[in-house]
Amino acid sequence: MQKKIIVANWKLNGSIKLLHNLLKPITNFVREKKILIKLIIVPPFVYLYPAYKIVMNTKIMIGAQNVDLHLNGAFTGEISVSMLNDVNVKYVIIGHSERRLHHKENNIIVAKKFKIVKDFQLIPILCIGETENDYNSGMTKQICQHQIDTIFDSLGEQAFFNTIIAYEPIWAIGSGKIPSLNFIEDICNFIKNYILKRQATNKKLFYIQYGGSVNQTNIKDLCKIVEIDGFLIGSASLDFDNFFKILNILSFEK
């Protein structure tokens, strides 16, 4: 099985108890097995360093769910990329649909955050995807292309080197529904080819994930899609039994 990059996005969920009851068993499991994936845990900000302390000296990495546009100053409640760097965060989710919707982050803001993350040598996990109306109107490729173009326009032809692009249909997130496998394959193939066409080399120096209602029942079928390099997993990553089933299916030698 091809090695996958798994991102567990905890969103606005977490506690010290969860760190001990979920993250510690995951860490122990990874230590005991020969891991065949790259696992990135993305807890809320207040748990970043405690999470890092648990996973340090393992192959598990820690990511952040967001970052501010500013490096320091009078911006109450915000977290800078230098702070993330300081607590050993290596990945940052940028442009998640919930940030775009609830915090009014448009493509320009997303591109600026993407650039800040790249400037500090962290790895952005860029979320792109369409609404249900866009999907029903056949606009998925146009929407994804526009979101990608904004990054290229800001950072140039090397923008996506060492980057994760997570295709997440907005309508699939938390719905329990996913597009057909053929549709997902077509969109991921489009994303790959479009970036290759616009970047400075024809080498694939980026990774493509799928996200949106990924769970233990559909993960085997999703793994059949060649273009998918990994998965962005939300609620299923918070349930001990479900997440361990996913890890066993995806990641470890039997």
- Among this protein's residues, is 168 annotated catalytic? yes
Annotated catalytic residue, options 98, 105, 130, 168: 168
- Longest Cα pair distance anywhere in the chain, in angstroms? 52
Annotated catalytic residue, options 96, 98, 130, 227: 96
- Among this protein's residues, is 70 annotated catalytic? no
Q: Residues with catalytic annotation?
A: 96, 168
